[in-house]
Structure 1
Amino acid sequence: MPEGKPRRPPLKPGPDGIVRLSGGNPQIAKGYGNEVVQKYIAAMPGWQSDVGRKLDAIIEKTVPGIHKAVKWNTPFYGLEQDIYFVSYHCMTKYVKVAFHNGAELRPMPPGTSKQAKVRYLDIYENDALDEDPFADWVKQASKLPGEKL
């Protein structure tokens, strides 16, 4: 057997049958449509699931006819399949919302990125999501070119 880093044992499902990756992010198979996104949201740990439901509802209300997908264990939203403008992901202590062309939003979401165009909004357990500015960012982002993913 070659020397090197020992292989990590495979991750085991929790009591609900869901495998959770680093930070508690649910491992959900790639798929398209509302059903797979709802499966992801239901598998988000604890309070994060409530945040996911709220984000999903605001995005759906703000952009009727939104296309949804789960790729790389992350829900994505866009105006056409495989071209997305917003996504979110579970981290250990917060939910990280990514606006793929967020640097063009006004005002810009507060979180910076190594990628010049991307901006983040981090939502912690005791944060109250300010729905109006979030909906405004979603509306603005939906009018910008999406990211092909």
Structure 2
Amino acid sequence: MAGRTSKKSVRAAKKAAAKRGAAKAVEPRKTAPASPSRTKPVLLTGGNPQIAKADGDAPVQAYIAAMPGWKSNVGRRLDALIVRTVPGVRKAVKWNSPFYGVEGKGWFLGVHCFTKYVKVAFFRGSSLRPVPPGPSKSKDTRYLDIYEDDELDEAQFAAWVKQASQLPGEWT
């Protein structure tokens, strides 16, 4: 019976292999954690990116890059318009939303992703002319909701941004 293996020895070999496999599964992985550039961003309710609270352009750009689908293009356009309209604009991510402000005056605008639209909050929007269309529970705040197929009136948006940046802001 040379070259043949008994059923008993085959079972013993399988059992030993299973034990070795189980032991390997229990061992902790020794690989380095994935770098942030390779990990998929965490999206909160409505597809809003979860980005750590931080000041500066880098966290705002991380938020924009993590915005899902068409919303990322909207985020890039809004950011570019704001930077062009308010040179030296101050940026930060707070409460999982990009904020734009003027040093010493506070925040004048915030952006937030929802399932079907991107919401721009003008914190002193009731003082802008014309007043942005979206009402708020706050008497001062007004909103602009941007849906996927909307045409953004860049001239009007820039005019609102310019006006808003010249008013006292929120959360200094």
TM range (shorter): 0.7 to 0.9
Q: Does 2:97 match 1:80?
A: no
Contact 2:51 2:93 in 1 (8 A): yes
Corresponding residue number in structure 1 for 2:66: 43
Aligned residues: 135
Contact 2:53 2:96 in 1 (8 A): yes
Q: TM-score, normalised by structure 1?
A: 0.88
Corresponding residue number in structure 2 for 1:146: 169
Going from structure 1 to structure 2, the CA distance change for 1:21 and 1:74 (only over 3 Å counts) comes to same
Corresponding residue number in structure 2 for 1:6: none
Distance 1:19 1:30 in 2: 14
Partner secondary structure for residue 40 of structure 2: coil
Please give the residue correspondences for 1:48-67 in structure 2 after superposition, counting only pairs within 5 Å: 48-67=71-90
Distance 2:61 2:85 in 1: 18
Contact 2:105 2:168 in 1 (8 A): no
Contact 1:25 1:91 in 2 (8 A): yes
Distance 1:111 1:50 in 2: 22
Q: Which has the larger radius of gyration?
A: 2
The AA in structure 1 aligned to 2:69 is G
Consecutive unaligned residues in structure 1, runs of 5 or more: 1-14
Contact 1:112 1:119 in 2 (8 A): yes
The offset of 1:18, in angstroms, is: 1.1
Distance 1:93 1:102 in 2: 22
Q: Does 2:129 match 1:106?
A: yes
The offset of 1:17, in angstroms, is: 2.1
Contact 2:117 2:148 in 1 (8 A): yes
Distance 2:114 2:104 in 1: 26
Distance 1:80 1:23 in 2: 31
The AA in structure 2 aligned to 1:93 is K
Going from structure 1 to structure 2, the CA distance change for 1:82 and 1:69 (only over 3 Å counts) comes to farther
Consecutive unaligned residues in structure 2, runs of 5 or more: 1-37
Distance 2:143 2:79 in 1: 16
Going from structure 1 to structure 2, the CA distance change for 1:56 and 1:81 (only over 3 Å counts) comes to farther
Corresponding residue number in structure 1 for 2:158: 135
The offset of 1:128, in angstroms, is: 1.1
The AA in structure 2 aligned to 1:117 is D
Give the structure with the larger helix fraction: 2
Q: Does 2:44 match 1:21?
A: yes
Q: TM-score, normalised by structure 2?
A: 0.76
Contact 1:99 1:118 in 2 (8 A): yes
